[in-house]
Amino acid sequence: RLHASVFDNAWEGIVISDADNKIITVNNAFSQITGYSAEEIVGQNPRILSSGLHDDVFYQTLWSDLNNTGLWHGEIWNRKKNGDVFAQRASISAVHDDAGTVTHYVAVFNDITEMKQTEKQLKTMAHYDSLTGLPNRVLLADRLSQNLAQTKRNNKLLLVCFLDLDGFKAVNDSYGHDIGDKLLIEIAGVLSAEIRTGDTIARIGGDEFVILLSDINNIDEVDASMVRINELITTPVVINDISHRVSASIGVTIFPTDDSDADTLLRHADLAMYEAKQAGRNRYHIFDANLDQEIHKQHQHIERIQIAFKNKEFCLYYQPKVNLKTGEVVGMEALIRWQHPERGLLGPFDFLPLIENHDLIVKIGDWVIDQALSQILQWQMTGNIIPVSVNVAARQIQHSDFIEKLEAALAHYPDVSSELLEMEILETSALETVQTAQIVMSTSKLLGVSFALDDFGTGYSSLSYLKRLPVKTLKIDQTFVRDMLVDMADQAIVEGVVKLAKVFHREVIAEGVETAEHGAKLLELGCRLAQGYGIARPMPAEKVIDWVQNYKKT
Ligand code: C2E
Ligand code: MG
Ligand code: MG
């Protein structure tokens, strides 16, 4: 009676069949789970429950386990009387008589359908975006690695496209998140319908999608694909009677042209997307691996220069400026040098161009001004009053606090007269920002600091600009000076600049004076001030005073 009560009241379904696998009894739980009453099922083969979801091999293994070990357990998908498929965790044992022959089989099972469903849901949640139903980042990574392997095998191209909607935030902000969500669902649907099986579209963030297009034969197909995607996205979507239109900025990187790993490909596509945004949105941009390397290298250079600055590896050399007529030394130009621990003494062209668009050039420029002022003071203390000119970069004068910093620097050296400090700015830089240049120059003039237009003649100063810019000096570019003895056009330019300076009441100086003949010619053309290797090369600060004293003697 006890056994019978266990049998009847168990939560597990129990089936007992005979050696021929004919069911001889089932319990209540069995009937509740499967829908078959005892009367209906007794005498049948349990095969009647088979769902058709398992192949022959599955049953062969089951029977061979059972016959060999007397026991099988595992999960089976079976079918209820009403046709529903359900999952059960089952264990089946063979019952033997004293002689060892099988007399019965006893199967005990649980309905685990619900558990299976939860499992599936969890899997879905882990792999799909809940809003759009598109694969998420996790599944994308999976698909990407599959696509990469496949592309390597079939010698085709794989496009990794990073897509960011333009103007989506505006829709969200003005119509609310509900509408924004609907728009995302709509776009996700349109794009999924477009791509081929085997391709992937994933949503990886708010309005960010990644599309993997495999099976691309050549680069010419890229354009068509991107144009098509853009077309789909820019098609207006009507939600609650209101038509919404967004566009996309798409970054594309092409494997194996860009022969990188999965993470790097995504990063590259992201970078290219950023380029597309920068270039004005609603477009695609293909990642350029060379450009990326270039940027990477530049970053490293900038970092190295930053370290150099911290380590005080920079110093100023000084090149004299003289009056050819009187033999007077009129000043020194400060020229930056990098005492590189491995590469030796480097000139500005080896490092300044790398940072001209970086704030580091401003920091270094500030240092140059401070250093120059400190040098003027040191010379002054030995009884030598020597004006110094420093070169300033375009980015420096564009900084809003240029004047403030200049004032502070001058205040830091109260014993130095501001008239001893001069600034040289490339004519081309001054022209880039005429208005700023004008303001900065006028204000500096009030502080006592004058400006020279460096490399004059290489820009395209109009006479009206020249009239407006309060510069003290025009510095004739050395290329004209160098060739003026043999090139009449260059000579005419030098002469022209000298006259221009006279008309506008500016000083004029020639740079790149390499020989005595150059000097003589300049005097003949009316230019008295000069600078160049023919007079002296740039030298360390310690050599300046000796040089000045020697020069005066000769
Ligand atoms: P720059 O201001 O026009 O300076 C003149 C350049 O010509 C210097 O080169 C100088 O050494 C060189 N030079 C002088 N006389 C002769 C000559 O007779 N023949 C030849 N062939 N060259 C001569 P450097 O020192 O290499 O400087 C190059 C440029 O770098 C400078 O041209 C200036 O624009 C820039 N620079 C130098 N120092 C600084 C700085 O501290 N800050 C900024 N922003 N730019 C600087
Ligand atoms: Mg200069
Ligand atoms: Mg110059």
DSSP-derived 3-state class of residue 336: strand
Looking at the CA of residue 347, tell me the nearest atom of ligand 1.
26
Pairing of strands 237-239, 242-244: antiparallel
pLDDT number for residue 521: 97
Q: Is residue 460's pLDDT more than 80?
A: no
Q: Give the pLDDT band of residue 279 (cuts 50, 70, 90).
A: confident
State the CB neighbour count (10 A cutoff) for residue 339: 14
Q: Which of the two residues, 206 and 314, has the higher pLDDT score?
A: 314
| CA–CA distance, 228 with 145 (Å, rounded to integer) | 25
For ligand 2, the distance from its centroid to the CA atom of residue 197, given in whole angstroms, is 64
C-beta of residue 307 within 8 angstroms of C-beta of residue 363: no
**For a pocket test of ligand 1, which of 351, 454, 511, 537 has the largest count of ligand atoms closer than 8 A to its C-beta?**
511
In the block, residue with structure tokens 């993997």: 212
Cα 255 from chain centre? 18
Rounded Cα gap, residues 79 and 50, in angstroms: 6
CA-based nearest residue to 234, from 177, 186, 180, 178:
186
pLDDT at 554: 67
CA-based nearest residue to 437, from 449, 425, 455: 425
| β-strands 329-340, 157-166 pairing | unpaired
Residue nearest to atom 7 of ligand 1 (CA): 512
Least confident among 110-124, 143-157, 248-262, 413-427: 110-124
Which residues have C-beta under 5 Å from ligand 2, the single-atom ion? 391, 424, 454
Cβ partners under 8 Å of residue 219, min gap 6 = 157, 254
Give, as one character, the DSSP assignment of residue 196.
P
Q: What is the mean pLDDT of the chain?
A: 93
Residue 217 CB neighbour total at 10 angstroms: 9
Place of tokens 């140059």: 368
Q: Do the Cβ atoms of 275 and 269 come closer than 8 Å?
A: no
pLDDT over 80 (residue 48): yes
The per-residue pLDDT for range 174-201, each reduced to its tens digit, is 999 999 999 999 999 999 999 988 899 9
Q: State the pLDDT confidence band at 37, using cuts at 50, 70 and 90.
A: very high
Count of CB atoms within 10 A of residue 113's CB? 16
CA distances for 440 relative to 222, 352, 447, 462, angstroms: 49, 22, 11, 19
Helices and strands, number each (H, E), in the chain:
22, 22
* SS3 of residue 128 by DSSP: strand
In angstroms and rounded to an integer, the radius of gyration of the C-alpha atoms of the chain is 42
Angle between helices 168-175 and 177-194 (to 10 degrees): 140
Cβ of residue 349 lying under 6 Å from some atom of ligand 1? yes
Residue-wise pLDDT for 301-346, tens only, equals: 999 999 999 999 999 999 999 999 999 999 999 999 999 999 999 9
Checking if the pLDDT of 454 tops 70, the result is yes
- State whether residue 252 is helix, strand or coil: strand
Q: Measure CA 534 to chain center.
A: 48
3-state SS, one letter per residue, for 82-120? CCCEEEEEEEEEEEECCCCCEEEEEEEEEECHHHHHHHH
Q: pLDDT at position 291, please?
A: 74
User: Partners of 36 in the beta sheet?
Assistant: none
Q: What is the mean pLDDT of residues 367-371?
A: 98
Helices (H), 235-288: 262-278
Q: Which of 353-357, 405-409, 432-436 has the lowest mean pLDDT?
A: 432-436
Residue 465 pLDDT more than 90?
no
Query: How does pLDDT run across 231-241, given as a tens digit for each residue?
Result: 999 999 999 99
Q: 536 CB under 6 A from ligand 1?
A: no
Q: Give nearest CA residue, ligand 1 atom 11.
A: 538
pTM beyond 0.75, yes or no = no
Find out whether the beta carbon of 347 lies less than 6 Å from any atom of ligand 1: yes
**Ligand 1: which of 351, 366, 391, 456 to mutate, most ligand atoms within 8 Å of CB?**
391
Output the CA 529–ligand 1 centroid distance in Å.
17
Q: Which ligand 1 atom is the nearest neighbour of the CA of 361?
A: 44
Give bridge partners of residue 25 from the DSSP assignment: 16
